[in-house]
Amino acid sequence: MKIFIDTANVEQIREVSGWGILDGVTTNPTLVAKEKMDFETIVRETCAIVDGPISAEAMSTRSEDIVKEARKLASIHKNIVIKIPMTEEGLKATKTLSKEGIKVNMTLVFSPAQALLACKAGARYISPFVGRLDDIGHNGMEVVAQILDIIDNYGFDAEVIVASVRHPGHVVEAAMMGAHIATVPYEVLKKMFKHPLTDQGIDKFLQDWEKVAKR
């Protein structure tokens, strides 16, 4: 399974890239608003760090405007993927862009029906928001499983990005069910390699090594 980081913080992207496990990056307007850099600078610096898909969101609401914005974003770097919300206008824009070879990440997906439409329109990536579904009492990971079945049934050229990840358990569930990608916040990524028994084991090894060194 590919692991993306869900952030617009360039330092976080650089740090996680240094771990050797990072396959791509997703951003959104909320994440960008937290940073002091302008949007285009963030995108350019991110592309210089990570050689993989970098999702940048189009903010227009009409299909014609989304297409224009997407073309401009895609011209920044070959790895740019355009995030487009699941709407009628978004589907129209996705169809146009997919024909032009511009990859689309259909975002704010909350149902298998929406995912099916996104696949039909030519979206390269589908982003179901599992955490937000869990928040309203739905099973977000069940929706991911349904979307994966649809893609497998019809051989759509699309990958599922498990998004709105809240904890390491979401990532593990995604991997166990065969999801293609999980996009994970920095804080959750940090939790993934932590375990108290690992820390205890390291402390024990160091203590024992000190005894060896004193001989």
Average pLDDT of the segment spanning 58-82: 97
Yes or no: say if 119 and 159 are a contact pair by the CB < 8 Å rule: no
User: Of the residues 34, 78, 83, 214, which is catalytic?
Assistant: 83
Q: pLDDT band for 209, please (50, 70, 90 cuts).
A: confident
Whole-structure pTM value: 0.94
- Write the pLDDT tens digit of every residue in 50-69: 999 999 999 999 999 999 99
Average pLDDT of the segment spanning 136-161: 98
Residue-range domain boundaries for the chain: 2-213
CA dihedral defined by 21, 3, 84, 143, rounded to 10 degrees? 180
The predicted structure's pLDDT at residue 207: 87
Instruction: Assess whether pLDDT exceeds 80 at residue 46.
Output: yes
Residue 72 among the catalytic residues: no
Yes or no: say if 138 and 132 are a contact pair by the CB < 8 Å rule: no
The predicted structure's pLDDT at residue 208: 84
The predicted structure's pLDDT at residue 143: 98
2-213 belongs to which CATH class? Answer: alpha beta
